[in-house]
Amino acid sequence: MENLEFYNALRVCPPEAKKTIKGGRLSGFTDINPQYRIMAMTQVFGPCGIGWYYTIDKQWEETYGAEVKCFCNVSVYIWNEARDCWSAPVMGTGGSTIVEQGRNGAYVSDEGYKMALTDALSVAMKALGVAADVYFEKGARYGTKYEQPQQAAQAQPLAQDAALPAAVEDEIKAAGSKDALRALIAKYPAYTQNAAFKASVNKRWGEV
């Protein structure tokens, strides 16, 4: 398994999963749809509870004047097929507000802990590479073959009967595990209807 195998499979976030934050202290930053993170993890590792899962390790509240904040610690685990075991925990901490003091008095949110959990999961998944490109500066160069030009090329659908690019064929042949093949399927979503791609992946799947 290459060190960046999962990271590169998870790093690209589609435009429809991103929204620019308007107003507040985070104005101008990008908000990532939390359901996209779940989908990305599922594409690469399998369904939640089977290929990956998380635990809520701690939840607590802190009071600051008239405001109450809530926090959450989580651990994310992924199945390591090569070693036939679960990974060490990938930890994340998140927070949100339960009671916020506004102009017209206190506002109480009943979704504070849910938002803190979502925040914590985003931190842990970021360590695995989920939507990593969003966190780079616009136009940053990554020094790898997975830069934006190639990502744009991957987005172009490959006809069902088209020949498979040699570079992609080589990546499939080099895949040393089913996890690596899942990562390639997630990396090339536009190729999943191509007959040669499916045949090559299925062939390698039976070999590893």
**Do both 114 and 161 map to the same domain?**
no
Name the residue range of residue 120's domain: 5-135
Count structural domains, the chain.
2
pLDDT at 60 over 50: yes
Please provide residue 95's backbone torsions phi and psi, each rounded to the nearest 5 degrees. Answer: -150, 160
pLDDT per position as a tens digit, 108-162: 889 999 999 999 999 999 999 998 888 775 444 444 434 444 444 444 567 788 8
Whether residue 34 is found in the same domain as residue 87: yes
One domain for residues 86 and 189: no
Domain membership of residue 173 (yes or no) is: yes
* 177 and 106, same domain (yes or no): no
The most confident of the ranges 57-61, 107-111, 152-156, 200-204 is 57-61
CATH of the domain at 120: 3.30.390.80
Do 28 and 126 fall within a single domain? yes
Q: Please check the confidence at residue 88 and state whether its pLDDT lies above 50.
A: yes
How is residue 154 written in tokens?
Answer: 């991957």
Strand ranges (DSSP E) for the chain?
Answer: 18-20, 30-32, 52-64, 67-80, 85-86, 90-102, 105-108
